[in-house]
Structure 1
Amino acid sequence: MSKAVIVKAKRTPIGKKNGQFQKLMPEKLAAPILQTLGEGMEEINDVILGNVVGPGGNMARLSVLEAGLPLSVPGLTIDRQCSAGLEAIRLACNLIQGGAGTCFLAGGVESTSTSLQQTRPRFSPDTLGDPDMGVAAENVAEKYGVTREKQDAYAIKSYLLTQEAHEQGLFSEEILPIQSIDIDEELVKKRPIERLAKRAKPVFKENGTVTAVNSCGIHDGAAAVLVMEEKQAIAEGLQPVLRFVDSEVAGIHPHFPGAAPIPAIRQLLERNGLTVNDIDLFEINEAFASKIVACAEELSIPYEKLNVRGGALTIGHPYSASGAVLVTRLFYEVQRRKGAKYAVAAIGSGGGIGVAVLFEIV
């Protein structure tokens, strides 16, 4: 079987909705990433991009053309809600291992600022109930006993880790500047996070636990990786960093989407004869702190291995781009660590779907 490896990865800075990228259509965000990752490649079999909030059509093909890639590169757009970017990478890896190509660009892009969608799509039919994601985060907190104190403590930890990484310049490797902007908008100004967490009021439920501090905002951004067949990558002088091992998709009740990474990660590790102890780094999307605490506690993941440079609670969550942001973060972080062997990226999404991908560190 052919082996799929990731040899390049980039993301844009992440902007707030109606913020620093408010006038950029999604293809304008994705195109510079595709152009950079595809530079010098003799043949690209396809570009697979996740996109959730539109404006519709084949965003991947539009972005390919905007990027000036060869007209022979087709483009496929997928929607698995917030899991779409990670699913795009998973699909590219499986296509390579199945012999359907040797070179793919895969990731996701989102422009909430320019989206024409006034309301979100349905995640679930009325027969089951269709809670908004904030209410679903409250459901997860209640089901798994995640207190407001635990959520706030995690959110503060994530913020401090992100701010520290930013101040050390660690994000400069993963970020491709867009229109001379090279910083995540949320990091432009430091916030008194402990004080804000203490004062924040529940947003989604009276007497609830989920606040604006322990949940993410709404954002714009893009991220993608260059996935290649390993022998082909080496023949072209490229260094594999992450080798795709296996992946898992799990469905759970749509009232608890934040918990969907739990069965996905559990089944993935069991099938490969691994435990949490064998994994050196986990990246799980921080849409809500309740979700991360629940996943960590249910799977017994120590925080020292989890989102070690912070995550979406601080830099933001551009929906379908977020899964690709997780893999981009792993791509650079594993290169800073000697002796690391395995890494996992995972994300949950509307409708109760969890996606998890296992990588071997080359």
Structure 2
Amino acid sequence: MVVTVTNTMYRNESTTPGQMDAPVIVAASRTPIGTAGRALAGHDAAELASLVLANLRRRVPSVSLREVVLGNCTGPGGDLARVAALRAHLGVEVPALTVDRQCGSGLAAIALAVDMVRLHPGLVLAGGVESASTAPWRFWPPEEGAEPVRYERAPFAPADVGDPDMGPAADALAAEYGISRARQDVYAARSHARAVEAGQAGLFGDELMPVGEVHRDERPRPGMSERRLARFPPAFDAGGTVTAGNSCGINDGAAAVAVLDAATHTRLNIPGLRVLVTATAGVDPTLPGIGLVPAVQEAVKNAGLELDDIDVIEFNEAFAGQILACCDALGVDPERICPQGGALALGHPWGASGAVLLVRLYTQLVRQGRGRFGLAAIAVGGGQGVAMLVERCL
């Protein structure tokens, strides 16, 4: 299969680790991730985002706030970021922008923030939010004499190009790359086990912003073993290998980071993650899950690194088979992915998930000191991928 890099949001061929003029992430926060219709169902997207934004603002109070950028997929429309910023009482003078790159929206929003502070120094709060529980119903205009037709999602691609739902596309990708059902269940079981262990050890605590009485992620399941997962029937195709057990959930949640220009970061002299490279890519829309592969390859190349140099890798685990196909294509040991559990266990709040990856990198690299370099990447419906490579700095 041929993949084509279509755009690099911040590309500098001279970029090397330690670049001192690169923007820096100096704070990161997220809500717990809830299962749709359950723990966070009473909180809409703007409210979830506002809680995280207010928390971040309290952590960086001494710098003028220039902008808010949030990703979102299925909210009420309009400028959700502006509504959230106002609900967070960030000031009527602070502008806000909402972006939609589907599942990559949260990471795309952070990449835009990086570009913003390079051009106009200051502080930008960026991330993403999704409330599948409160997403409005949408309808196509009716044809004459017919009833309106409700749709669950906007098109990812034109029908004549190929516009599969993500589940069938994950089945097709697993088949294309020869990913067995057994491998998928082993990987999913490991994600749950890691997330449960990390939660019990309190490793998520510093990044979580409680929502009411909800203080922890709702989805991770203790005892989600390979044997238990093997009982799940195929979810999309009678002969397929993708099941509800080796797929992510449908979830609610918000995540964001605080991005500073390099000079301000130097003046404040606080720990953070220097953003070395961000990259985006396009692939065949019928196999969208592979989209993170060329984005990762471009990011690593432009940073002057090898994948073996990366200490912590966070890929969005939409489907176990999808992540395993990406690992095989990249030549990466799946054991290295999401060392404290990923979206298979934690959940996948679409517009927020890319930002969740950066929050997880911030916790592991900055708060927990687990290495120097981190890589986040996510595949996108319609055949795209977004990646970001960061370096811990003190």
TM-score range, shorter chain: over 0.9
Output one character per residue of 1:120-170: Cα deviation in whole Å (capped at 9) or x when no partner.
111111111211000110111011111111111100111111111011011
Q: Provide the secondary structure at the position in 2 that maps to 1:295.
A: helix
Please identify, of 122-131 and 237-246, the stretch whose mean Cα deviation from structure 2 is larger.
Answer: 237-246
Q: Provide the secondary structure at the position in 1 that maps to 2:126.
A: strand
Supply the AA of the counterpart residue of 1:50.
G
Show the counterpart of 1:103.
123
Please identify, of 332-341 and 121-130, the stretch whose mean Cα deviation from structure 2 is larger.
Answer: 332-341
Q: Provide the secondary structure at the position in 2 that maps to 1:223.
A: strand
Contact 2:273–2:366 under 8 Å retained in 1: no
Q: Is 1:51 matched with 2:82?
A: no
What displacement does 1:100 show?
2.2
CA distance in 1, matches of 2:310, 2:300: 9
Q: Provide the secondary structure at the position in 2 that maps to 1:260.
A: helix
Q: Is 1:18 matched with 2:50?
A: no
CA distance in 2, matches of 1:339, 1:120: 38
Classify 1:207/1:339 alpha carbon distance in 2 versus 1 (closer, same or farther; 3 Å).
closer
Q: Is 1:78 matched with 2:99?
A: yes
Contact 1:230–1:240 under 8 Å retained in 2: no
CA distance in 2, matches of 1:332, 1:211: 30
Pairing of 1:258-273 with structure 2 (within 5 A): 258-273=289-304
Pairing of 1:173-212 with structure 2 (within 5 A): 173-187=206-220, 190-212=222-244
Pairing of 1:102-251 with structure 2 (within 5 A): 102-117=122-137, 118-187=151-220, 190-235=222-267, 237=268, 239-251=270-282
Q: Which residue of 314, 330, 337 corresponds with 1:283?
A: 314
CA distance in 1, matches of 2:246, 2:179: 12
CA distance in 2, matches of 1:128, 1:231: 46
Q: Which residue of 42, 46, 51 corresponds with 1:32?
A: 51
What displacement does 1:85 show?
0.1
Please identify, of 32-41 and 254-263, the stretch whose mean Cα deviation from structure 2 is larger.
Answer: 32-41
CA distance in 2, matches of 1:302, 1:319: 25
What displacement does 1:102 show?
1.8
Supply the AA of the counterpart residue of 2:241.
T
Q: Which runs of 5+ in 1 are unaligned?
A: none
Classify 1:42/1:71 alpha carbon distance in 2 versus 1 (closer, same or farther; 3 Å).
farther
Contact 1:243–1:359 under 8 Å retained in 2: yes
Please identify, of 219-228 and 277-286, the stretch whose mean Cα deviation from structure 2 is larger.
Answer: 277-286
Q: Provide the secondary structure at the position in 1 that maps to 2:258.
A: strand
Contact 1:48–1:92 under 8 Å retained in 2: yes
Q: Which runs of 5+ in 2 are unaligned?
A: 1-19, 138-150
Show the counterpart of 1:343.
374
Classify 1:57/1:238 alpha carbon distance in 2 versus 1 (closer, same or farther; 3 Å).
farther
What displacement does 1:311 show?
0.7
TM-score by length of 2: 0.88
CA distance in 1, matches of 2:364, 2:101: 26
CA distance in 2, matches of 1:252, 1:159: 29
Show the counterpart of 2:114.
93
What displacement does 1:351 show?
0.4
CA distance in 2, matches of 1:351, 1:298: 19
The 4+ residue runs of structure 1 with deviation greater than 4 A are 336-339
Q: Is 1:60 matched with 2:81?
A: yes
How well do the aligned residues superpose, as a CA RMSD in angstroms? 1.5
Contact 2:292–2:377 under 8 Å retained in 1: yes
Q: Provide the secondary structure at the position in 2 that maps to 1:63.
A: helix
Work out the percentage of aligned pairs sharing the same amino acid. 43
CA distance in 2, matches of 1:280, 1:336: 14
Q: Provide the secondary structure at the position in 2 that maps to 1:199.
A: coil
Supply the AA of the counterpart residue of 1:80.
R
What displacement does 1:38 show?
1.0
What displacement does 1:191 show?
4.4
Show the counterpart of 1:359.
390
Please identify, of 103-112 and 301-310, the stretch whose mean Cα deviation from structure 2 is larger.
Answer: 301-310
CA distance in 1, matches of 2:66, 2:281: 28
Contact 2:271–2:366 under 8 Å retained in 1: no
Show the counterpart of 2:17.
none
TM-score by length of 1: 0.96
Show the counterpart of 2:345.
314
Supply the AA of the counterpart residue of 1:59.
L
What displacement does 1:267 show?
1.8
Q: Provide the secondary structure at the position in 2 that maps to 1:173.
A: helix
Contact 1:216–1:316 under 8 Å retained in 2: yes
Please identify, of 278-287 and 237-246, the stretch whose mean Cα deviation from structure 2 is larger.
Answer: 237-246
Contact 2:312–2:370 under 8 Å retained in 1: no
Supply the AA of the counterpart residue of 2:332.
I
Show the counterpart of 2:328.
297
